[in-house]
A and B are shown apart, each in its own frame.
Chain A
């Protein structure tokens, strides 16, 4: 086939995809035009409010809710997973029931429930201590309780899955060497399970950054609550929602970048870097040898 040598290869043309891409571009540009040309949006309000003190305070509280609820739910989820994998039917039953209940009812309902807890438990008397529920369960506490207890149900399942993913030969080898059950769990099983459970914990953390906005229904002073407080006075609803969205995007992008770096360190990335981070890393050329 000497005559073919040097002939240029023309890949098959995918006409259908070209047409779809062209149509999609037209639609997106049209929508963008509609948004930008809207005279009802005060674009200048966005830079004005983006670093507003109230907004920044809201961001801090959103971060506090995310971090605290993740820490509490990881601890509680670990405990629940341990109960679930025990051999005692009461303990496994409790853990199953917990997961069933907290995953089966809406988080929004749980938030409103904790906020109104004093309606049916006005106070607790514990051996001389009188606890006034109204004073203890502030919007902050109600929001944190609801987020943590709900998330613990998901964490329990993630951790149980991680522990079950480890080959039974590992615990047999540890037992045969004379590890006590606790030593085998802490030194052999858990470190291996960690590699399995860190990616989903990262996903849950990123989801939690956005889920915290639900606590605005009890005015827990997170980013969305503050945003709503501002637009309740000046009616710049869309502008302030854009400000909030920008901040949520910033937080989730940074978090998914961190997740990617952690997973790469663990040598077990479950996916690709988020699109924005890939672009940043191409610019910084830190992607290195990873293909």
Chain B
């Protein structure tokens, strides 16, 4: 009875499971990024600034980091001054997915379904050690925890911590804004010395 039930014989193979999930999902949407929406430099710059200024996150709090994400949205840390005024529950209305918590085998298809439902352009922040690499659950006998959400979907910003402070998440949002628009906290555009709008010829700014 002990021989047949040795854990090593039928231990779930997590890598094979992740590969199987990725092969079944809509690969082009996950692997290729959406190109620029318009081909004109000025409108592209303005669109990027608008996107960076109003990232709407989707509520995908899983575990402990979700409480810090809620705390960031509340009155003391106030994520809405950086544009993320509303946390949308529906993936169709959001463009930022903050994966806050541990992703495990049962939750991985759910994550992929939600990611595929989000319209492009979309970004992902991996919040906390569990979403970056499995965190404290990356142990020798691991049979359930996916070690890092970037095995499933492309991640733009990693925010380490267990759990990270709300200021850490705010820094992650600012870094993402820098990645999108080239400058942290683009608003107010016309007063920021590093704003790319200043380099556009003929645009009168105060």
Q: Do A and B come from one complex?
A: no
